Amino acid sequence: MSSGSSAKKHRLIQSFGFAYTGIRSVVMNERNMKIHLVISLIVIMTGLWLSLSMLEWLFIFLAIGGMLSLEMINTAIERVVDLVTDQYHPLAKDAKDIAAGAVLLYAIMSVIIGLIIFAPKIMMILT
């Protein structure tokens, strides 16, 4: 193995470490991420209880993964804006509000996906 190949492998492993640190940071420090994780766990447990199909799991995991990822991007945008300025600026507010709006929009879409998948199954159980 050449030293260049070894250095590339080290950088790749190091980048995974940075990513893990970022995930850990947002999970430990962000209330909204904790809420998303609890809801995700409830959704997964409900999906196991209702024996979702492979296609239904695909949509559920896309919704969960997208939601968690978007929450992380929102947090990163908030942190960068806070790093750049600690004073009120309309563009800083816009950046934060737009990122939060993206999270809200995806959350609404995720709830709709959940309703489409879970509601008929739960209605069958209840009737």
Distance between CA atoms of residues 127 and 119, nearest Å:
12
Judge whether 33 and 27 are in contact, CB under 8 Å: yes
86 is in an annotated binding site: no
Cα–chain center distance at 25: 13
Residue 56 marked as a ligand binder: no
Residue of 47, 60, 71, 74 marked catalytic: 71
**Is 71 assigned a catalytic role?**
yes
**Alpha helical stretches, state H, the chain:** 3-29, 31-49, 54-84, 90-126
* Residue of 49, 23, 55 lying closest to 41 (CA atoms): 49
Q: Binding site, residues? A: 11, 30, 71, 78, 96-97
Q: Binding site for ATP, residues? A: 11, 30, 78, 96-97
Q: Binding site for a divalent metal cation, residues? A: 30, 78
Q: Binding site for substrate, residues? A: 11, 71
So which residues are the catalytic ones? 71
